[in-house]
Chain A
Amino acid sequence: MRITSPRVEVFGGRPRRGGAVLASVLVFCVLILSAQAPARNRQGSVLQSWILTAAAPLASAVSTVSRAATGAADAVLETFSARSENVLLKKELAEKSRELFQLRAELDQVARERRLSAAPVLPRVVGTAPVLLVQRRAGLYGALVGAGSRSGVVAGSPIAVAEGLVGRVVTVGRGVSRVQLLLDASAAAGARIVRTGELGVVRGDGRGALTLNNIPTASRVHAGDFVESAGIDGIYPRGVPIGRVESVSRGSDLFLEIRVRPAAPFSRLTDVLVLAPSPAAVESLGGSRRAGS
């Protein structure tokens, strides 16, 4: 049989060995996936860690070249757009000044609340790391950062930027680590609405936004409220900004549907802070290692 059209010709060919190879590869993938699935919330597999370690030199070299190239291109473009940008920056500065005034007032309030609840100080920063790669597929958000076990990074280390929480390390290589971003559809963090003090769970919706769950319908939360990590999940430390409430609507019978705009600029992450893991995370990691050994 042969069908011909101006752009496309169709033949009646038949795959031979390919079907068998495909079936074996798919079965192999299913076996590998099944073997990993139960351990997904602890830490990445040893194989993944090895691959990350092997990829580290290539990743670092290519990202250095990429950063240099994009930096040079940006510098050239910025020269042309400097004047118009100056006007915009002046406007932005005025807005930021107003925002700063409001934030200082909120900060005072938060500091007062912290003193009252004797909260621990913000976590120690282990170091900074460049973002080498961000992968977004089917609601799964991951990133590679250029710091590994050599720099003191361990699985479970929270990742943040100055603006807010970014995610946590799941697999550690020697010079590169893999991070699950907070936007990932299977990521979650204990959260607290600063103004009302209510606790909930922030989850990634897999589409670039966050939802705040488990806040009762009787809550006084409204758009613009500041949300921070609550330190109740044993992974993320307390008091790191997560975002601001974008919209509140009535959800199911018991809880509100709250959308949160992330504080961290996920679309243009360049460098991140690696924080010291919470004692609970270190303990559970040690426990799982002891159980494994």
Chain B
Amino acid sequence: MRARRIALLLLAATVLQFFLGASRHRGAWPVDWFLIATAVVARGGNFTRAVLAGASAGFLEDALGHDLLGMNAFAKAAIGYVLAVISVRVVFGGALAVGGALAAASLANDAIVAALARLLLQAPIVLFSFDSLSRAAATGLAGGLLEAAWRFSWREWWEKRRLRRLR
């Protein structure tokens, strides 16, 4: 994936984060769009780009809403690497697998941030809270749906629909 595309992907993630974040119903669909952007880059199998895209996404996320710059960058760079390893070694066969991997990655992101917050801010470790689980579920679901939409043969479907109408 080219650098320009990665930048566009990160911009899209930021816009989506703001679009849903400004809404009164932000709690209903707490998707981690930055993680999805990282996963999309990691899927290409290029380790360097996956790590750098993860770090950039994490920095953006930290700058926009977290106490210390670098916590999410650390977590997302590591997750980008792991997802790139997975995408090189494992070929996922469906939306369910992609959704599951993203949900697990979201929980791992939370665990890394919690550990860093414990070390640097002396904050109590909060794992598997309702927020964390709902974000993992929403991110997994959104990732799964995007994968399904990406894999779906829209052209064939459109042709079939057109032919059915002509009959």
Contact check, B20 vs A66: say whether CB atoms are below 8 A apart. yes
Contact check, A62 vs B15: say whether CB atoms are below 8 A apart. yes
Interface string of A2-14 (1 = CB under 8 A from B): 0000111111110
Q: Considering only CB atoms, which chain A residue lies closest to B94 in the complex? A: A7
Give every chain A residue within 8 A of B19 (Cβ-Cβ): 62-63, 65-66
Contact check, A135 vs B51: say whether CB atoms are below 8 A apart. no
Give every chain B residue within 8 A of A69 (Cβ-Cβ): 23
B65, B90, B124, B127: the one contacting A9 at CB < 8 Å is B90
Contact check, A48 vs B65: say whether CB atoms are below 8 A apart. no
Contact check, A33 vs B65: say whether CB atoms are below 8 A apart. no
Q: A residues 1-27 with Cβ under 8 Å of B?
A: 6-13, 15-19, 21-22, 25-26
How many residues of B sit at the interface, in one of the four size bands? 35 or more
Contact check, B61 vs A135: say whether CB atoms are below 8 A apart. yes
Interface flag for A268 (CB, 8 Å) = yes
Most A-side CB within 10 Å, residue of B14, B48, B65, B67: B67
Interface flag for A150 (CB, 8 Å) = no
When chains A and B are docked, how far (Å) is the Cα of A135 from the Cα of B17?
A: 10
Give every chain B residue within 8 A of A8 (Cβ-Cβ): 90-93, 97
Interface flag for A287 (CB, 8 Å) = no
Interface string of A63-84 (1 = CB under 8 A from B): 1111101100010000000000
Interface flag for A109 (CB, 8 Å) = no
- Given A65-B19, A139-B126, the answer on whether A30 and B74 have CB atoms closer than 8 Å is yes
Interface flag for B153 (CB, 8 Å) = no
Q: Considering only CB atoms, which chain B residue lies closest to A203 in the complex? A: B124
Q: A19-B47, A206-B126 are in contact. List 6 more A-B contacts (CB 8 A).
A: A7-B97, A25-B52, A134-B21, A135-B61, A135-B66, A139-B117
A-B contact pairs, 22 of them (CB 8 A): A9-B91, A9-B93, A15-B47, A25-B52, A25-B73, A26-B78, A29-B73, A66-B22, A70-B23, A130-B22, A132-B18, A133-B22, A135-B21, A137-B113, A137-B135, A138-B127, A140-B66, A140-B117, A205-B126, A207-B129, A207-B131, A208-B129
